[in-house]
Amino acid sequence: MKIIVLLMSLAAFLLVTLPGPLYKSGIVELGTAFAGFKYAVIAGIAALILLIIQMLFKRKTVTFTSAAVAIIFSLVAIIMPLKMMSTANNVPAIHDVSTDMTTPPEFVAIAPLRADAPNPAAYAGIETARKQREAYPELQTLQYSQPKAELVAAVEQAANNLGWQLVNTDSRSGLIEATDATMWFGFKDDVVVRVEDTGEERLVDIRSKSRMGKSDLGKNAERITAFIKELDAVLSQ
């Protein structure tokens, strides 16, 4: 029974950890990858139930090491999908986030790269803006005193520091475009940063949009927040 428990918990662990890399490498489709999460939870619960039965009726076959491994693998398989579900329930179901929701920065060089993406390059609209205001009121246009050229260079440096792939930099218009990929599944999200000179100050707006998926699980807002922090760090050097 110990072997069955270990194999079940291992299967659960693999069902929750492998879908991302397998999808990223093109071995499985997204639907199959997400289905793995559901079966991981089922397998993880089943493994814990079998472990309890083993401890009740075949206590002599239980060792600390085997029980610990089974519990850890099973809990990982159960907690990870549930955590994703919890995140999805606590963030708005949007995939387009911008510090300027009235006239959001537009994708130019990146637009052709999104031609076949489920989510078009155009801004997602009024309802998305409303949900963003409620969830992320802190994301607003940034104001700086540095010259426009210095800000453009700092934006490029911050993007490079964050590991983004720069696609285009138009210093004259103050537009910087880049692509970022999520670590686990490798989902591609696009970012456009706009630097405007009003004469008295420089305004910086950032927009991050997923190429696919109705909800980004908060990733785009998280990315913009990280970028703002990195940009301020670059400018303070």
pTM recorded for the entire structure:
0.87
Give the burial class of 13: count Cβ atoms within 10 A of its Cβ; 0-12 exposed, 13-18 middle, 19 or more buried: buried
Residues 65, 177 within the same domain: no
- Pick the closest to residue 76 from 52, 34, 28, 40 (CA basis): 40
CATH code, 137: 3.30.530.50
Structure tokens at 228: 């703002």
Output the tens digit of pLDDT for each of the chain's 237 residues.
Answer: 889 999 999 999 999 999 999 998 889 998 999 899 999 999 999 999 999 999 998 888 889 999 999 999 999 999 999 999 999 999 999 999 999 999 999 999 999 999 999 999 999 999 999 999 999 999 999 999 999 999 999 999 999 999 999 999 999 999 999 999 988 898 999 999 999 999 889 999 999 999 999 999 999 999 999 999 999 999 998
Question: Which of 43, 58, 90 finishes a domain?
Answer: 90
Degrees, nearest 5: CA angle 73-74-78: 120
R_g of the chain computed on alpha carbons: 23
Residues 8, 38 within the same domain: yes
| Antiparallel, parallel or unpaired: β 165-170 and 175-181 | antiparallel
Range of the domain at 83: 2-90
Residues 144, 186 within the same domain: yes
Question: Which of 47, 70, 90 finishes a domain?
Answer: 90
The total of other beta-carbon atoms located within 10 Å of residue 156's CB is: 18
- DSSP E strands in the chain: the ranges are 96-98, 142-144, 165-170, 175-181, 188-197, 202-210
* Residues 128-152: b if buried by 16+ CB within 10 A, e if exposed: bbebbeebbeebeebebeeebeebb
